[in-house]
């Protein structure tokens, strides 16, 4: 009996202890289950947020691309396409957000917000949202929904629409062979006895035809080759349709249109590259045919069989001329062709650049075909108070463009001094030698800051033209 009596308390205690553990375990499971539920709610919420964040990313990208496409599409006819581009971008951004969100869009507490801004050439967009995800387990703790929000931004910088006016010297000095080897080769076979040291192109001169017949590249051809290479570079680097337009404007007495401003750089028969017609095997170009012909009545367009009149620039008023290099006229001539100076924000608001390629030697004489006379020639030495007919250009003539906001890019092709000057043609050799040291300072002063380069060889000419082009594109980006 004692044994049984003594066992009873122990059994009762064990039973009670086991019950207590069960109760404690039961109560401890509640927060554990709640924590697991909250974790499950959080996981669901994060899944919804990830999908909505992805929708915001897509919406921001769609908004800037739509705005860009709208600017490109209507820019030619609308000088201020930004308001329409912003509206289109925001509408497309919201539309794509909802499409990307799918059934998760039901969690939104309002419409997504898509905002597009345009500053210069930079298009930016922000897409944001607010949402609430229903809680399954959080309701036990009085939390019915879990709030989520997010935003995404995107931006792009559009290229600028640029116009390039290639103002190219085709006076007689550009008929010099482009390399010392070519100069020696022409000198050895030159049939002219007129005293002309260049590949003269006047009627009756034989050295030009001799250079052509013997595949001796002239400086004018080296410039043409550089322009042809520039067309390819421009076509490959443009980021917008018809982003760059170019025109070729040769000059002697006046600047003329050889190829009117066009966005067709290397395409059909009307393109710049086709008009230049560079022959890599001979180094010659159709552009070389423009070299001073000694006819003061023709227009440059007559040398381009595919020339067509467009509305890009006014028609030429004066023939290209002959017999001199009248830099004092040409900047006014090209200024008249630049109808407007925009900021490059649209194809109807282009930013102009003028590429001036010359040796910088001003020659105020000119040739009158009918009489065979050379007005404008001065004697040597030139009397005091009289301006010598052959001299370095006056850089102030470039100001007519720069004051309008036109960038003037200058490439100087050296005019070599004569080692053994003669008295030929009123001692023009001596005049050249006197002016030669002043050429570079004058051309550098003509150029807009940072837009001067010097090129002698054909390779340097090609590289120099491309350098000026890439520098123009870079400046357009920096000054937007």
The reply to whether 141 and 225 lie within a common domain is: no
Q: Read off the pLDDT of residues 393-408 as tens digits, 9 standing for 90 and up.
A: 999 999 999 999 999 9
User: Which string of b and e fits 343-363 if b means at least 16 CB within 10 Å?
Assistant: bbbbbbbbbbbbbbbbbbbbb
CA 206, 208, 209: angle at the middle one, nearest 5? 70
Pick from 71-80, 345-354, 397-406, 454-463: least confident: 71-80
The reply to whether 181 and 116 lie within a common domain is: no
In a domain, 166, yes or no: yes
Pick from 19-28, 135-144, 275-284: least confident: 19-28
Q: What pairs with residue 155 in β-bridges?
A: 124
Are the beta carbons of 216 and 173 closer than 8 angstroms?
Answer: no
Asked if residue 137 has pLDDT above 70, the reply is no
The reply to whether 83 and 207 lie within a common domain is: no
In a domain, 10, yes or no: no
Asked if residue 82 has pLDDT above 50, the reply is yes
Are the beta carbons of 344 and 476 closer than 8 angstroms?
Answer: yes
Placement of tokens 């629409």 in the chain = 161
Check residue 314 and report its DSSP letter: P
**How far apart (Å, rounded) are the C-alpha atoms in residues 56 and 153?**
8
**How far apart (Å, rounded) are the C-alpha atoms in residues 431 and 390?**
6
Domain final residue, candidates 104, 132, 157: 157
pLDDT at 1: 47
The reply to whether 138 and 214 lie within a common domain is: no
CATH of the domain at 169: 3.40.50.410
The reply to whether 276 and 365 lie within a common domain is: yes
Please report the beta strands in 244-389, taking only residues with DSSP state E, as ranges in sequence order.
Answer: 244-251, 259-262, 351-358, 361-363
In a domain, 2, yes or no: no
The reply to whether 93 and 210 lie within a common domain is: no
Of 25, 92, 21, the closest CA to residue 62 belongs to 92
In a domain, 5, yes or no: no
CA distances for 27 relative to 18, 22, 33, 34, angstroms: 14, 9, 10, 12
Q: Read off the pLDDT of residues 250-274 as tens digits, 9 standing for 90 and up.
A: 999 999 999 999 988 877 788 888 8
In a domain, 391, yes or no: yes
Task: Indicate the pTM of the whole model.
Answer: 0.78
Q: In sequence order, what DSSP letters do the residues of 91-125 get, joined into one string?
A: HHHHHHHHHHHGGGGGGBSS--EEEEEEETTEEEE
Strands 452-454 vs 259-262: parallel, antiparallel or unpaired: unpaired
Are the beta carbons of 271 and 264 closer than 8 angstroms?
Answer: yes
pLDDT at 66: 93
**How far apart (Å, rounded) are the C-alpha atoms in residues 16 and 234?**
92
pLDDT confidence bin for 480, thresholds 50/70/90: very low
The reply to whether 207 and 310 lie within a common domain is: yes
**Tokens representing residue 444 in the block:** 């550098």
Domain final residue, candidates 110, 132, 157: 157
CA 285, 196, 248: angle at the middle one, nearest 5? 30
The reply to whether 20 and 69 lie within a common domain is: yes
Q: Which helix (H) or strand (E) holds 411?
A: strand 407-412
The reply to whether 141 and 182 lie within a common domain is: no
Quote the number of domains for the chain. 2
Task: Please write down the HEC assignment for all residues of 200-267.
Answer: CCCCCCCHHHHHHHCCCCEHHHHHHHHHHHHHHHHHHHCCCCCCEEEEEEEECCCECCCEEEECCCCC
pLDDT at 197: 64
pLDDT confidence bin for 152, thresholds 50/70/90: very high
The mean pLDDT of 328-341, rounded to a whole number, is 95
**How far apart (Å, rounded) are the C-alpha atoms in residues 259 and 245?**
11
Pick from 67-71, 187-191, 195-199, 460-464: least confident: 195-199
Domain final residue, candidates 122, 157, 192: 157
The reply to whether 311 and 366 lie within a common domain is: yes
The mean pLDDT of 176-195, rounded to a whole number, is 82
Length of the chain: 480
Sign of CA dihedral 450, 252, 364, 419: positive
In a domain, 168, yes or no: yes
The reply to whether 471 and 420 lie within a common domain is: yes
In the chain, % of residues over pLDDT 90:
52
Q: Which helix (H) or strand (E) holds 29?
A: helix 2-74
Placement of tokens 């053994």 in the chain = 420
The reply to whether 69 and 213 lie within a common domain is: no
Full residue range of the structural domain in which residue 209 is found: 162-478
In a domain, 89, yes or no: yes
**How far apart (Å, rounded) are the C-alpha atoms in residues 300 and 401?**
22
Asked if residue 4 has pLDDT above 80, the reply is no
**How far apart (Å, rounded) are the C-alpha atoms in residues 8 and 218?**
125
Q: Read off the pLDDT of residues 413-449 as tens digits, 9 standing for 90 and up.
A: 988 888 888 887 888 889 999 999 999 999 999 999 9
Contacts of 324 (CB under 8 A, 6+ apart): 171, 252, 253, 363, 364, 365, 366, 367, 376
| Max avg pLDDT among 73-82, 227-236, 287-296, 391-400 | 391-400
Q: Determine whether 175 is exposed, middle or buried from the number of CB atoms within 10 Å of its CB (0-12, 13-18, 19+).
A: buried
User: Which string of b and e fits 218-250 if b means at least 16 CB within 10 Å?
Assistant: bbbbbbbbbbbbbbebbbeebebeebbbbbbbb
pLDDT at 142: 57
In a domain, 3, yes or no: no
């Amino acid at each position: 009996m004692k044994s049984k009596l003594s066992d009873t308390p122990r059994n009762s205690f064990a039973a009670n202890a086991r019950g207590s553990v069960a109760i404690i375990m039961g109560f401890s499971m509640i927060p554990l289950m709640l924590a697991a539920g909250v974790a499950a709610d959080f996981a669901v919420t994060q899944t919804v947020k990830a999908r909505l964040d992805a929708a915001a990313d897509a919406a921001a990208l769609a908004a800037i691309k739509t705005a860009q496409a709208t600017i490109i599409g209507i820019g030619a006819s609308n000088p201020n396409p930004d308001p329409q581009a912003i509206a289109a971008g925001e509408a497309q951004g919201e539309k794509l957000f909802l499409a990307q969100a799918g059934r998760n869009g039901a969690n939104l507490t309002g419409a997504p917000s898509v905002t597009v801004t345009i500053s210069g050439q930079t298009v930016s967009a922000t897409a944001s949202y607010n949402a609430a995800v229903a809680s399954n387990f959080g309701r036990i703790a009085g939390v019915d929904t879990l709030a989520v929000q997010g935003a995404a931004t995107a931006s792009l910088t559009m290229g600028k629409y640029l116009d390039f006016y290639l103002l190219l010297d085709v006076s007689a000095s550009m008929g010099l062979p482009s390399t010392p080897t070519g100069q020696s080769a022409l000198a050895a076979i030159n049939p002219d006895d007129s005293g002309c040291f260049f590949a003269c192109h006047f009627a009756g001169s034989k050295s030009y035809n001799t250079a052509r017949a013997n595949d001796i590249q002239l400086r004018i051809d080296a410039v043409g080759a550089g322009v042809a290479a520039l067309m390819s570079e421009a076509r490959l680097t443009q980021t917008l349709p018809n982003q760059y337009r170019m025109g070729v404007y040769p000059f002697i007495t006046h600047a003329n249109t050889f190829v009117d401003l066009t966005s067709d750089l290397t395409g059909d028969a009307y393109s710049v590259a086709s008009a230049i017609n560079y022959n890599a095997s001979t180094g010659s170009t159709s552009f070389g045919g423009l070299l001073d012909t000694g006819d003061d009545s023709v227009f440059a367009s007559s040398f381009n069989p595919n020339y067509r009149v467009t509305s890009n620039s006014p028609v030429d008023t004066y023939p290209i001329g002959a017999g001199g290099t009248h830099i004092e006229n040409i900047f006014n001539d090209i200024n008249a062709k630049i109808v407007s100076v925009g900021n490059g924000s649209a194809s109807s608001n282009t930013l102009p650049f003028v590429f001036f390629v010359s040796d910088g030697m001003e020659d105020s004489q000119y040739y009158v075909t009918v009489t065979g006379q050379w007005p404008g020639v001065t004697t040597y030495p030139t009397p005091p108070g009289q301006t010598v007919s052959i001299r370095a250009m006056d850089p102030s003539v470039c100001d007519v463009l720069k004051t309008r906001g036109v960038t003037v890019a200058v490439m100087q092709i050296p005019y070599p001094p004569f080692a053994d000057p003669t008295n030929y043609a009123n001692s023009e050799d001596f005049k050249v030698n006197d002016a030669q040291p002043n050429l570079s300072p004058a051309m550098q002063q003509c150029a807009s800051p940072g837009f001067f380069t010097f090129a002698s060889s054909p390779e340097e000419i090609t590289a120099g033209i491309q350098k000026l082009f890439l520098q123009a594109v870079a400046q357009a980006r920096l000054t937007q």
